[in-house]
Structure 1
């Protein structure tokens, strides 16, 4: 089966240049031998959506239909270029969540410029009151919050815009190989750790743990240097200063205690890439469970009915988790490594992982990368973004849960924190 194609979603106001850029981009990709299709909003509406109007509900239905078509094409390796106003952020984000490789490109120009261009005369009619519900005049347009690219067509011509999107595609392809590499490295390091367990046995568990840490670190450091020369490395065994535009953050053996116990499978290998201020790729291997989760293919399972479940350390459950269990009317579920706890939320075994006592970046970077790629919520306890690649590798706190639970969990954290402040 071929790898899924990339969906390039061009969003923006009417007249910004989406269709023109889509056609130029498709021509360039066709010349390069890339199977490509353009889904233009006007053409799809004329062919499949003639019954739809321009109310929000109808516009969202149109976005879903185009997203479904894009998914079918991309599934067979076609690069799909969508040129669609798609004015509402929630609908665009829902399409993004349902697709594989997805690049959102905001094609924009100042409203005055668009009114002056007005190639179809639509702005003139909307301003005259002849068209109701016209995006940008009498209906809102919600710009993307985190697009992969913004192109101002009042500042560049269509050919330049096309070249910028082609460059973005190339960077995306390079990052795609980073997803694969992260998974391959985590799986291979995990296999070596399993072999070490079998060869060395458990008679001297401290020696086994020390050997596991050192050997897995050496393997990952060597392979990253081989496959990504020039990239930087931060590891539990070699913290470094967190510098570099491409920083691999690895925990060669997360859950060292459990690794040294013959009946434990709750230990992991973490491999993550922090690139340009984002967790760009990552993988978590649970070798004793024959499980590998990566940012390329991880899927979050839905929440099971019943009481709220909070993943905690099996040896020292934090007071914060106990207080949250009371606040959320939930249960504590003890287990080993931080990576295993975060993965447990992804797999539907628990509903929340929260840590308030501080961790190192390598404890959470890879599992957070995988969890967020699968659509989970991950943040600091105050709801702010998690930031890696700092000079100090210490990360004060974090929580991971399903997005539908995030508001409830963050409110519970605030309530518990307020109560603690009152007691102090």
Structure 2
């Protein structure tokens, strides 16, 4: 396949899929959880991103538990693939057809919370004297705040380093000894690649070449940088970023990376057993462990960067409510129920998310070997900073990465030219 063709398709998809923070990959479907309603019943419409069976089953179980304890409230759930989710949600809000409660990707909430679409949960939290507020990890609770209000509660996911132990054995590497430093990530990726007849059949590492900001940011954080600053201005053209992208491009050209789209319906190479390592979400790994066996998947904190950084990328799904919902009290009751200790522990243990309540740490860690790593990663984790410029920065970063991977421009030129365009668009938007 010609690289130019891949680039053209990727850029066409960028606009419609821009604000999807994570990828999933199944056809659109609706839940059948809602029963017929009477005149005395309240019906809440829930939209949730992702159609993986593990996620939909866990959401439906939460709904069933809530309805059993709240017989006057029904919840109608609609599940939409991540790649389509935010576009559909934006259209629904524009037409006044928004759901009462919705899941929002990390980038989606922080880039749109200033638009006044979402319900400020603070008055309801305070009226209920909700104990869960004090139990939340402070940084995770803060991630859903804006202008003094609480607009979402996060079900966090961490991107530690995962690796296939069986693939390590195949190439003579110690299956219990993953890369420990930033440079070793690239060295191991070269050793782990499998090339047959001039074609890569298994990548050494899963770095997405289209819509691929998440794997890029996972590596950039280890170098002590981010791709935009506190004011929302792009920084992805820094010397450190240029060097990182060049190292990624070199891996790609050597055959250690299989070209892929972060949001492709079929899943990423690591999820499809076509890569040996990945910075993958805890949720995606939970699904993979079911298919290949937990003993074949290893988890570890991110390798240490040159200056000692070991920061993991933190994303996840926020639960939030529409500001214009006709049922704000019921919407808050549903969100609060979701985050009750027993309920959030059950949901996260099924889906691979991490319970955001401090009191659940010991219990969650006992449920699985990788859970301790996930909680340890929370101590040094970073999500996207709140900025209305997030979507602009992501758009041009994605284009820059695609141009570099596909040889359209040298890495430095691609990053600098697209950062310039991002600055111009930000300036014109003021």
Short-chain TM bin: under 0.3
Q: What TM-score comes out, normalization by structure 1 length?
A: 0.26
* Bigger strand share: 1
**TM-score w.r.t. structure 2 length?**
0.26
- Rg larger for: 1
